[in-house]
Amino acid sequence: MVLRMNAFTFVGLFLLSLTWKAAWAKVEVNMEDRVEVFLGDTAQITCMFTVSDSHDDVIIQWYMITKTNVRLRIYYGDSTIQVVDLGGQFTDKISVNGMGKSSEVVLTIRDVALEDELEFICQVNGLSAGNTEGRTMLKVFASPDRPNIEGVHSGISVSNKNPSKIGSCEAKNGYPRPNITWYRDQSPLQNTPGEVSVVTLVTKKSSGLYTVQSNLHLNVVKEDKDSFFYCEVSYLVPGGTKMTETNKINITVHYPTTSLDVWVESPKGRVKEGDTVEVHCRANGYPQPPFTFMHNMQELKSELNVLVLKDVMRLSNGNITCTALDLDTYEETVGHTELFVDYLDPAVLIPKDTHVMAQGEELMATCNALSSLPTHTEWFKKGEKVAEGHTLTLKDAVFDMAGKYVCVVKVPSLEGLVTSGSLHVHVQGPPEIKESADTVLEEITETFLNLSCHARGYPTPVITWSSSDESQILKEVSHRQTEDEVLSVVIVKVTSDITANCNASNVHGTDSFPFSIKAIVQTTSSDPSTTVPVTVVAPVTTVTPVTPPKRVKKEGRGVIIAVIIICILLLAILGSVLYFLYKKGKIPCGRSGKQDLTKPNKDSIVVEMNNDNTEEAVLLGVNGDKKSSSDQVTMDTGYFFLASL
């Protein structure tokens, strides 16, 4: 009995010791609350544990909590075996590293997918020490694509009663779901009843990624025409949050017209008669409404909201009205501008057109033109300025003052505004013939000569020709006449000395001018031993009414004749000297002592004389041979050639 009692006591003490030992042994597990990783990356979940007062082996088991909240083991390991459970979603993509009494175990998940976002449990079993587990949530992230924004293309009216769609913003392929915030300039837009409405549409694809589309509706105001709108997309990433902004867009705002600007676009500056005027009208609303133009209460057609007035006159002065009709409110807006056309009337001359004045009289002519601006007047004659100012004064009138006077009136301050008028002035008086420089003309007989007579006077003189030789016919070959002058040209055949008279006459008197013509007759010398044949070549005279004929002065002809006579005398003296020397024997005669003077040789003397109107050639031959008393010296004078033009 005592033995049995001792046995029970021993067993009880043994069990008590075991219980006491188990009460002091324990297992501790430490794990992170969450592990974050990008989609497709590798995740590592660490399980740190401690088992005290035990030398037994520990057992490590990993579990997952499914989406349906079911606990499934995915791994088992102890000191002898490590096994990944088959048939699960992690069979081929996990591994576990690390075992020991006081150590850590790491669960590695490769190529993390969205469905791997689960809660994982690490259970550590210390046998006699018991078991403890820890939990970690695996979070998976996917950054969305770059967001897109698109604004409405049509205009948005400020008159719309409900918020109008401004644009749409979209972020694709993000996880978890991205958030979209709208901004106007730098200010975020929040849902405000009746003013701002943001409608968000979320789509989850089969891949598990999210696409978020956000539409902004807004009650626009006129100031929104200058505003910029954009979206900000925020999304989660491991360890924080990121944000991405879209491009900025501007919208077209339609707002009513409250005022109009009306102005003359062309021409710039002042408008003159004859100009083409463009009147523009612009409203401060958008879009530009249709315009109606009124000019002095008369409606005019316009093109592209531009009024064109062609060839404006001073009658075009007045008010131009532009009226705009708002097609939304049907309200009219009116604008005005004033059109003033500058003008310059035709020049008025006093006296006008033609004025006749007597010699010695005085004329005071005036030229004026009515204008809306100050004017300046200048007088011109034959293109040269002769006076300045509105008055032209001619004193002691002479024929030189006759002619056409042009007055030019212009507006210095406005280019192109100019007018002109002309006045023809005639100076009455008897004819005046412009005298020729040569009154005595010498011409060779049987030649033709042009005579010009230029007379002026008013009324226009009548020119007649007369000749001292009644048988001589003066044929007029040219006749030119103006209101104050006349030019007559006649042709005369020179046969003898005559006087041709130019007679000019009008109602106030007459004038005449004589042309004395001396005829030169060709002559031949009568000396048989010395002959001077003169050949006269008649010139061909071309009739030109403007150019007077060529005249040979008497003095020039006498000088030429004197030179010819002197040359002949010198040659005669030279021949006499040679003959005298020959008689005295002072001149050797070659081998025979004689030389035949009748034979020309290289000692012949040739004399040539030329001038503008004559050509003379004299040839003398001298032969010094000794002869009988009948020997004679023969001197042959060559030919004189005289040509007169």
Q: Nearest to residue 58, comparing CAs of 86, 26, 33?
A: 26
Both 149 and 248 in one domain: the answer is yes
- Report whether 452 contacts 532 (CB < 8 A): no
Neighbours of 631 (CB within 10 A): 16
DSSP strand pairing (240-245 vs 229-237) = antiparallel
pLDDT of residue 187: 94
Neighbours of 630 (CB within 10 A): 5
67-76, 142-151, 434-443, range with the lowest pLDDT: 434-443
Neighbours of 563 (CB within 10 A): 13
Both 327 and 269 in one domain: the answer is yes
Domain annotation covers residue 95:
yes
What's the predicted TM-score (pTM) here? Answer: 0.57
Domain C-terminal end among 398, 430, 462: 430
Both 296 and 365 in one domain: the answer is no
Alpha-carbon span 289 to 282, nearest angstrom: 9
Alpha-carbon span 281 to 260, nearest angstrom: 7
Supply the range of the domain harboring residue 299: 260-342
Taking residues 555-562, what's their average pLDDT?
65
Taking residues 399-405, what's their average pLDDT?
92
| Joined tokens for residue 459 | 């009324």
pLDDT over threshold 60, residue 621:
no
pLDDT of residue 347: 95
Compare 437 and 150 and report the one with higher pLDDT. Answer: 150
Q: Nearest to residue 463, comparing CAs of 518, 495, 502, 489?
A: 502
pLDDT of residue 531: 39
Alpha-carbon span 607 to 622, nearest angstrom: 14
pLDDT of residue 1: 39
The SS3 call for residue 98 is coil
Domain annotation covers residue 594:
no
pLDDT over threshold 70, residue 28:
yes
DSSP strand pairing (376-381 vs 403-410) = antiparallel
Both 278 and 358 in one domain: the answer is no
Both 423 and 452 in one domain: the answer is no
**pLDDT-based confidence at residue 622 (cuts at 50, 70, 90):** very low
Chain length of the chain: 645
Please give the C-alpha separations between residue 346 and each of 226, 272, 409, in angstroms, as whole numbers: 56, 14, 9
| Joined tokens for residue 471 | 């048988």
pLDDT over threshold 60, residue 437:
yes
97-111, 200-214, 248-262, 474-488, range with the lowest pLDDT: 97-111
- Burial class from Cβ neighbours inside 10 Å (0-12, 13-18, 19+) for residue 527 reads exposed
Both 49 and 89 in one domain: the answer is yes
Alpha-carbon span 559 to 315, nearest angstrom: 83
Both 196 and 127 in one domain: the answer is no
The SS3 call for residue 586 is coil
Domain annotation covers residue 7:
no
- Report whether 351 contacts 379 (CB < 8 A): no
DSSP state of 287: S
pLDDT of residue 543: 34
Taking residues 114-120, what's their average pLDDT?
95
Q: Nearest to residue 196, comparing CAs of 185, 184, 186?
A: 184
Domain annotation covers residue 208:
yes
Domain annotation covers residue 602:
no
- Residue 560: phi and psi, rounded to 5, are -65, -45
pLDDT of residue 51: 79
pLDDT over threshold 80, residue 110:
yes
Alpha-carbon span 321 to 339, nearest angstrom: 11
Taking residues 365-385, what's their average pLDDT?
95
Let me know the angle formed at the C-alpha of 399 by 396 and 404, rounded to the nearest 5 degrees: 100
Q: What's the maximum distance between 2 C-alpha atoms anywhere in the chain?
A: 232
Domain C-terminal end among 117, 141, 165: 141
What does pLDDT average to over the chain?
A: 81
Quick: pLDDT tens for 146-183. 999 999 999 999 989 899 999 999 999 999 999 999 99
Site of tokens 């004749």:
561
Site of tokens 């008197």:
509
Domain C-terminal end among 342, 363, 386: 342
Both 187 and 218 in one domain: the answer is yes
**pLDDT-based confidence at residue 343 (cuts at 50, 70, 90):** very high
DSSP strand pairing (34-38 vs 131-141) = parallel
Taking residues 396-423, what's their average pLDDT?
94
DSSP strand pairing (229-237 vs 179-184) = antiparallel
Both 248 and 267 in one domain: the answer is no
pLDDT of residue 127: 74
- Does the CA dihedral 467-470-473-475 come out positive or negative? positive
Both 290 and 331 in one domain: the answer is yes
Taking residues 398-412, what's their average pLDDT?
94
pLDDT over threshold 80, residue 267:
yes
Quick: pLDDT tens for 456-485. 999 999 999 998 887 787 889 999 988 789
pLDDT of residue 53: 60
Please give the C-alpha separations between residue 413 and each of 272, 407, 409, 416, 549, in angstroms, as whole numbers: 11, 19, 13, 10, 55
Both 310 and 394 in one domain: the answer is no
- Does the CA dihedral 568-574-575-577 come out positive or negative? positive
- Report whether 71 contacts 121 (CB < 8 A): yes
Both 166 and 243 in one domain: the answer is yes
3-class secondary structure per residue, 178-232: CEEEEEECCEEECCECCCEEEEEEEEECCCCCEEEEEEEEECCCHHHHHCCEEEE
How many domains are contained in the chain?
Answer: 5
Compare 288 and 129 and report the one with higher pLDDT. Answer: 288
**pLDDT-based confidence at residue 52 (cuts at 50, 70, 90):** confident
Taking residues 546-556, what's their average pLDDT?
40
Domain annotation covers residue 21:
no
Q: Nearest to residue 121, comparing CAs of 62, 69, 49, 47?
A: 62
Radius of gyration, alpha carbons of the chain: 68
Alpha-carbon span 88 to 107, nearest angstrom: 15
Q: Nearest to residue 155, comparing CAs of 344, 288, 259?
A: 288
**CATH assignment at residue 38:** 2.60.40.10
Alpha-carbon span 508 to 526, nearest angstrom: 58
- Residue 263: phi and psi, rounded to 5, are -155, 160
Quick: pLDDT tens for 173-219. 999 999 999 999 999 999 999 899 999 999 999 999 999 999 999 99
104-118, 288-302, 360-374, 596-610, range with the lowest pLDDT: 596-610
pLDDT over threshold 70, residue 617:
no
Alpha-carbon span 182 to 519, nearest angstrom: 122
**pLDDT-based confidence at residue 78 (cuts at 50, 70, 90):** confident
Domain annotation covers residue 643:
no
pLDDT over threshold 70, residue 18:
no
Domain annotation covers residue 488:
yes
Compare 523 and 579 and report the one with higher pLDDT. Answer: 579
pLDDT of residue 559: 67
pLDDT of residue 524: 54
Beta bridge partners of 609: 616
